[in-house]
A and B are shown apart, each in its own frame.
Chain A
Amino acid sequence: MSGQPLTFDATPDEMVVFLSEAEEQMELLSQDLLRLEHEGDTNSELLQEIFRAAHTLKGSSGAIGHQRMAHLTHAVESVLDQVRHHTLPVTTPMIDLLLQGVDALRVLLEEVTTLVESAIAIDDLCTGLNALTTPPPVVAQPVPGKRDESRPYIAQPPGAVATAAPSAALWRVEAQIAPECLLPAVRALQVLLALSGLGTVTRSEPTSEMIEAGQVAAGANVTLWLAPHSADDVAAQIAPTLASVLEVTVQAITPEGHTVAATPPVVPGDQTASLWQIAITFNARCQLPAARALQVVLTCATLGTVAASQPTLEEIEAGQVPVDQPLLVTVSAPGPLDAITAAAHAAIERIPEVQVAYVTPVGVGAQLIAPASSATPMPSASPTPSPVSTPLSIKDGEGAGVGPTPASHAPRMVRIDVERLDALMNLVGELVIDRTRLARISGKLGQMAHDPVLAEELTETCRHLARISDDLQDEVMRSRMLPIESVFSKFPRLVRDLAQKVGKPIDFIVEGKDTELDRSVAEQIGDPIIHLLRNSIDHGVESAERRAAVGKAPAGQVRLAARHEENQIVIDVEDDGHGIDIEVIKQKAVSKGILSAEAAARLSDREAVDLIFASGFSTAEQISDISGRGVGMDIVRTNVERLNGSITVETEVGQGTRFTVRLPLTLAIIRALLVEVAGQTYAIPLTSVVEALRIEREALRSINGRAAIALRGQVLPLLHLRDVFAELTSTGRPAAGTGRPQGSPTGDTAERAARQFVVAVRWGERRGGLIVDALVGEQEIVIKPLGNLFRSAQGVSGGAVLGDGQVAPILDIATLIKHIIATDRGTAVSQGAVA
């Protein structure tokens, strides 16, 4: 079976759409399944949503011809359908099985990319799922819940509407699939499903079989007849319900059939005159919507007889005209559609601030039947009583998001390829560089200005440009931001599985899901957090028995919280377990040879706790035999610091432990301290800088042959960057390279000897000082990768393009501090070890 090449019935473009949507549906499914387990089957909205996700997945996988996926989703859907109808109770084994189903679906989804059949067997899973389901109830359901694929969605033949829902009217819903839609059949199915939540779909064109067979063309019209569950205001619910379906435009929602008790008598009218609905949209900035609306209605009266309008004339006269909703005017006028449309456009578009969105026929004279009227005949209308209607129809006109309900504002969102955002970010980065350059040039020109007015103008322009580019940078950054939910969403499942595995009940709390962070950070932060969560569950939280013994609630609490703090995102992973026992940590560190027993005894509590981040402190084998923590905590720290972030730990024995991860909001632009070493500028990420100080030569101490200074009672080991770099760059050329003017004042040896600048830097809890020739200043820098050729250059993590167009190497503080520590201990033989 496995390993066979697969082919699917879809073009590459369709595949992309299919993949991204299938992933979304699966994500939704697994989240909702966890919610379902938590909340039970009382939340009908959740039940609908989860069922719809499964059904959409089934439809779309069927449409591309992925048999196994369709088969499995069908089994999942059948279970969910019965849960939805409360014929099947929600149980943990059921959720387990459904989650396994989703996992298997993910594997199957990969087949779409690999085009090779995976080894996963789904038969047992399907059997298990099918065993859960009981025969479906006899009640007519809008959607078939059982395997019987041939069973249509149509519960009754169209003629028998009254028996299907005796008290309900029949609504005709016309929707158009967007012409550029790649998965028309899926969209049609979604429409069908969405409507079946409101009532019984008695008939559809194309039929549900055709839709499921994929026989729907892009751009096609789908017409459905809906017998609502309840008579109240179904029309108002239909549009918002369908607004959630992508690439579908509702053309018209019209009442049909004669079953409504309150149907007004048929009004005799002009049999030859057709009824048209004209939808008019307002410009978003329209100042006087009510006045415009009145003008429109009056103008429509010149086209024919105004039968109705929405808002009604009273509402318009009262000024109740929402600018973000289309004005609908029903006009009775003879003539073909083209003529009416042309006339409407010609007449109405003379009115400022409005456009005709569309003109659509809604009936022929008296044949139009409508429920109770909410419309007012125009005073200027013909004395003949006009047919009255409350047609409700939406369609996106020129302005996206024009619709009668807030829900239809959804189309305001646009999907953008991540690569495009990255490109945009790069361009903005360059703009930032040029802005700084321009400001510099303007400054220079200002000094030698022959024309002070012009120079002033240039300065002014530069300032404005700086403001604009700052704003632009903010906006682009923001557009790249994701809520951290995209990272957090997979954790409840992970915690659930882990808790089951270790047999500890865990109460998992997630806070701050909406906190936004840059996509680049979001991509990288998942793994460290997983590590911390795993660690909390595995080692932080005690067993239920032990918790009971110390009087804690049986379920361990693990809290994951995100928030913004200044320009950082702060993520806490906290548990209410037994905390870290410092003595155990010390013993373990000594036994591992990380430090001597004497050194361990001298450590402060804080330093001792930090030992869990020491490399080599723990390996997977030893985790379970210590009461402390440490599943590769050094890796967590390294990964966090690679992102220019930091991690700290606070613990209280018996009370719990909290890890706090701090990360910059973006990885592309950081603030840095610029320093000069041997005539060249270097950048130090500001997150690593503790302080910068000027020291006199006398303050320098030599400890174990290494320079150091006393800084507030602590010894700060120093690294002379000039020496380190000179050694690294000793290749025959002057160290500063090519043609840069040597002998800048700071480069002068005598002066350098008398007075030096030290930048105290921090990496984790470790501190060190870097001796530099001069401090240049603080600047926002755009980080550029140096490329693979420089992988051996270990003291440097990247390049920054400065305001003058020069490239400044960005110092890799982690490596430099390690180097200081290593030489301090005497374990590194020479400074060359950095290279």
Chain B
Amino acid sequence: MTQAATVTQTALDDEQVVVFDVANEAYAVNIARVHEIIRLQQITVIPGAPACVEGVINLRGKVIPVLDLRKRFSLHATEHTRASRIVVVEISGQTLGLVVDGVSEVLRIAPDRIEPPSPLVTGIDSRYLRGIAKLDDQLIVLLDLDQVLSPVEQQQLEASDLR
């Protein structure tokens, strides 16, 4: 009985995350930040857009920018596949799409499983990371969504005037 109570208590502290693949690596973001996950659709290129911005898509009548995480992490770009998805998240009040190679699962991660980020573990710049979750069979990189945009992009996003 006591065990069940403990489990429940732990479950409350657990972080619920959406796990997805980028270049054969497992990444995760907190589920609260994820609006939805959609199939890849035609992305419209906007000439002159910042480099990591893939373009825009039409999300039920709303035009939202889409970022390619491979580009962001300076990983080599590949053609998108059938498994590719767009994870729709919110950063600084703006709805954004993140192109990922595939979405695998939704997990609960206990806080004691999360360690501070180490650039040695992953190939990507540690400033995008919030921590590494060590599970029994895999390592999951927890993304810091607020760092996914560069400071300049962040500023642009937060600027109040609309273009």
Contact = CB atoms under 8 A, between A and B. Distances in A.
A729 B48 CA distance: 6
B54 A738 contact: yes
Interface in B13-70: 40-51, 53-58, 60-65
A733 B54 CA distance: 10
A743 interface: no
Given A738-B43, A788-B162, A807 B48 contact: no
B29 to A, nearest CB: 19
A103 B48 CA distance: 47
B163 A785 contact: yes
Contacts of A792: 48-50, 156
Interface string A151-164: 00000000000000
Contacts of A808: 44
B4 interface: no
Contact of A801 (B49, B50, B63, B153): B63
A799 B53 CA distance: 15
A795 B163 CA distance: 12
Given A737-B55, A788-B162, A793 B47 contact: yes
Contacts of A733: 77
Nearest to A432: B61
B42 A789 contact: no
A450 B77 CA distance: 44
Interface string A411-440: 000000000000000100110010000000
A545 B2 CA distance: 101
Given A429-B61, A786-B163, A793-B49, A806 B42 contact: yes
B65 A786 contact: yes
B157 interface: yes
Size range of the interface on A?
A: 35 or more
A738 B47 contact: no
A724 B163 CA distance: 21
Interface in A595-628: none
B94 interface: yes
A731 B77 CA distance: 10
A785 B79 CA distance: 28
Contact of A806 (B40, B46, B58): B58
B159 A791 contact: yes
A805 interface: yes
A218 to B, nearest CB: 38
B81 to A, nearest CB: 9
B48 A799 contact: no
Interface string B125-163: 000000000000000000000000000010011110111
Contact of B65 (A426, A787, A801, A806): A787
B107 to A, nearest CB: 28
Given A785-B163, A788-B157, A789-B94, A735 B45 contact: yes
A737 B94 CA distance: 23
B80 interface: yes
A99 B63 CA distance: 47
A789 B156 contact: yes
A738 B42 contact: yes
B153 A789 contact: yes
Contacts of B58: 801, 805-807
Nearest to B44: A807
B50 A729 contact: no
Contacts of B49: 729, 789-790, 792-793
Interface centre among B40, B80, B161, B163 (most CB of A within 10 A): B163
A805 B79 CA distance: 22
Interface residues of B, number: 37
A773 B77 CA distance: 27
A130 B79 CA distance: 80
A808 B71 CA distance: 23
B44 A809 contact: yes
A712 interface: no
A835 B49 CA distance: 8
Given A680-B45, A794-B48, A801 B61 contact: yes
Interface string A730-744: 011101111110000
A391 B122 CA distance: 89
B109 to A, nearest CB: 30
B42 to A, nearest CB: 6
A783 to B, nearest CB: 10
Contacts of A732: 71, 77
A796 interface: yes
B162 A785 contact: yes
Contacts of A358: none
B163 A790 contact: yes
Contacts of B94: 787-789
Contact of B163 (A426, A429, A791): A791
Contact of B48 (A433, A738, A793, A806): A793
B45 A739 contact: no
A724 B51 CA distance: 16
Nearest to A834: B48
A799 B63 contact: yes
Nearest to B61: A430
A725 interface: yes
A806 B44 contact: yes
Contacts of B158: 788
A796 B65 CA distance: 14
B150 to A, nearest CB: 11
Q: Which of A433, A739, A794 has the most CB of B within 10 A?
A: A739
Contact of B47 (A729, A740, A787, A801): A729
A784 interface: yes
A498 interface: no
B47 A724 contact: yes
Contact of B56 (A725, A739, A799): A799
A790 B65 contact: yes
Contacts of B45: 680, 725, 729, 735-737, 809
A728 interface: yes
B42 A790 contact: no
A790 B54 CA distance: 11
A806 B44 CA distance: 7
Contacts of A784: 61-63
Given A787-B63, A787-B65, 19 more contacts: A429-B61, A725-B45, A728-B47, A737-B43, A738-B40, A785-B163, A786-B163, A789-B153, A789-B157, A791-B163, A792-B48, A796-B47, A799-B46, A805-B58, A806-B44, A807-B56, A809-B45, A809-B46, A835-B48
Interface of A: 426, 429-430, 433, 680, 724-725, 728-729, 731-733, 735-740, 784-797, 799, 801, 805-809, 834-835
18 contacts: A433-B61, A724-B47, A729-B48, A731-B71, A735-B45, A737-B43, A739-B40, A788-B158, A788-B159, A788-B163, A790-B48, A793-B46, A793-B48, A796-B46, A797-B163, A801-B63, A805-B41, A807-B56
A-B pairs, 6 with minimum CB distance: A793-B48, A430-B61, A728-B47, A725-B47, A807-B44, A784-B63
